[in-house]
Amino acid sequence: MKPDVTEAVTTAIRSVLHDTGRDTKPVASTMLLAADIGLDSLDLAQTIVLLERSLGIDPFRSASTSRTVRTVSDLVSIYDHALASPPT
Amino acid sequence: MPTSALPTQTLLDAHIEGRLAFAISEVARQAPDRLAIIAQAGSDSRRTIDYRTLAVAIAALEAELDATRPVGIVARASRVESLVVIAAACGRQHVHVALLPYDSRDLVGEHNDWLEVDDSLSLPAAPTGGRMRLEFETVPPEVTVATSGTSGPPKLVDHSWDSLLAAARLAEHWHGLGWLLVYDATRWAGMQVWIQAMLTGGRLVVPASREPDTVARALADEAVAILPATPTLLRRLLTSGDAAVLEKASGSLERITLGGEGADAGLLERAHTVFPKAKITQVYATTELGEVYRVADGRPGFPSNWLGKALPGGARLSLRSDGELLVRLSRDTAEVATGDLVERRGDRYEFTGRRSDVIVVGGAKVYPKRVEEVIRGVPGVVDVRIYGLPSGITGELVAGEIVLAEPLADGATPESIRAAVLAICRESLEPHSVPRILDIVSQIAMTAAGKTPRRAR
């Protein structure tokens, strides 16, 4: 069954905001991770660990992931892409 | 309690390599009915053996060694009594012996032509073409042990019988006591315990597992006097062991010897409260260096004025600029970097962890022990482990596990305690030190050496 990546990414970001004591505002796919949501590199690192737990992969561990991640949908598409490609 | 009739001087007169076998035989002759090793493998199969059995087994193995003269013996035994017999017999017969824990057995490569002895204590026929010990060989026999692998993979280290027996306390008041063995019997720390017990006619009590209740019951049922443990093992015992059983155990416990990790003030206070009669000694030793010093004042770390001075054992301590502890065992030996980091706090140097334990988050260092100390103060948390989780973004990320009190205080929920832990960390720590992953677990993981693991499993 194909996991709902958008849902997983949204949940992870909300968990990060909650754990760091910030308001868990609604997360939309067009939002900028840094400017709109306020995620720094540590927050992003935490998000990726949470996503590894829920989706079972970490596309950032392999050097091939060099795409810029600016928006929520950037993040979603990286995971969509990683889940679609066969594991190497 | 009748003391062992083995006079210290008689033991010291025995050749050092044969001292272990000598002590076992002597005590067997004088008090054949006393228990030597009390192991509880399984719930109902309690095996008891006396010194006579050990002495007879040593003699039998020695006879075989006499006939074959192998280059060395690799002990493949899993029972403590077998390891004792193999080590003692090899020592007296001047045969090199390697005592290897299970996780180090693939390191045996260089000992390919050595013979293996298992729990059956019988020697296989020497391989044809295998090197036999030569008559004129003058290299003193050594004992090969493996490092615990806390930092990096385990490696083999050769020790002389001198260095192995150096730390044993032989004075009369150490004789005939009950010792608890919670360490792996094939590791340096465990070997120190059974060597000590055997040299002084003591009882070695081996619990069936390291579960806090099992350990507590072994302490209480066998009236154990000496508990050697790591701070991680002791903390588990104090936080999760049955309170009534611990109270019973406190009646006989005379001494707690901590080693392997630094102990914090909270643990030392707690141990003193639960075991008020027990003296608490902290031993600083490594598999490579052996024992460097001991502190018995019940405070963490060591006095700051020890730096640069010759300590009772002859060792000198100094610091590298980054806080790593350096040890020079004697004037004739080189300075050794220990990998342990210390920090000045008042009139003490306290351990902040292993250099290899340091978690590097986006270039900033995080000392896991420091984070653990902050979290241990949160009501409802009984134990914690902080470790580094690899991250493609920041190199590593601080992660943690907490064990909650049972039952929780009124009104508290696991989620409220977890939130309180994170809030206190945010208040007291730099942002990169605050755990980003925090799981509630039923028990903190432990390494084979009884220490807290510092990397993701």
Encode pLDDT of B222-249 as tens digits: 999 999 999 999 999 998 889 999 999 9
pLDDT at residue B346, as a whole number: 95
Residue of chain A minimizing CA distance to B426: A20
- Report the range of poorest mean pLDDT among A63-72, B38-47, B55-64: B38-47
Residue A70 distance to chain B (closest CA, Å): 14
Q: What is the pTM of this model?
A: 0.85
- Listed residue (B449, B429, B365, B389) closest to B192, CA to CA: B449
Of residues B362, B431, B436, nearest to A49 (C-beta): B436
User: Residue B199 corresponds to which tokens in the numbers above?
Assistant: 């040299």
Of residues A19, A45, A65, nearest to B394 (C-beta): A45
- Calpha distance B342→B321 (Å, rounded): 11
- Calpha distance B120→B443 (Å, rounded): 36
CB B353 within 8 A of CB B338: no
A85 has a chain B CB within 8 A of its CB: no
- Calpha distance B261→B232 (Å, rounded): 8
Q: Which of A15, A16, A19, A67 should be substituted to probe chain B, the one whose Cβ sees the most B Cβ atoms within 10 Å?
A: A19
Give the residue ranges of DSSP H helices in B210-347.
212-221, 231-240, 243-250, 265-274
Residue of chain A minimizing CA distance to B422: A19
Cβ-count burial B85-117 (b if 16+ within 10 Å, e if not):
bbbbbbbbbbbbbbbbbebbeebbeebeebbeb
Q: How many CB atoms lie within 10 A of CB B198?
A: 25
Residue B393 distance to chain A (closest CA, Å): 6
A45 has a chain B CB within 8 A of its CB: yes
Residues of B in contact with A13 (CB under 8 A): none
For chain B, the farthest-separated pair of C-alpha atoms sits apart, in whole angstroms, at: 77
Are A46 and B397 an interchain contact pair (Cβ–Cβ within 8 Å)? yes
B399 has a chain A CB within 8 A of its CB: yes
B74 φ/ψ angles, rounded to the nearest 5 degrees: -100, 120
In percent, the amount of chain B with pLDDT more than 90 equals: 54
Are A19 and B422 an interchain contact pair (Cβ–Cβ within 8 Å)? yes
- Calpha distance B5→A85 (Å, rounded): 75
What would the pLDDT profile of B49-96 be if each residue is shown by its tens digit? 788 888 988 999 998 888 777 778 889 888 899 999 999 999 998 888
Residue A28 distance to chain B (closest CA, Å): 23
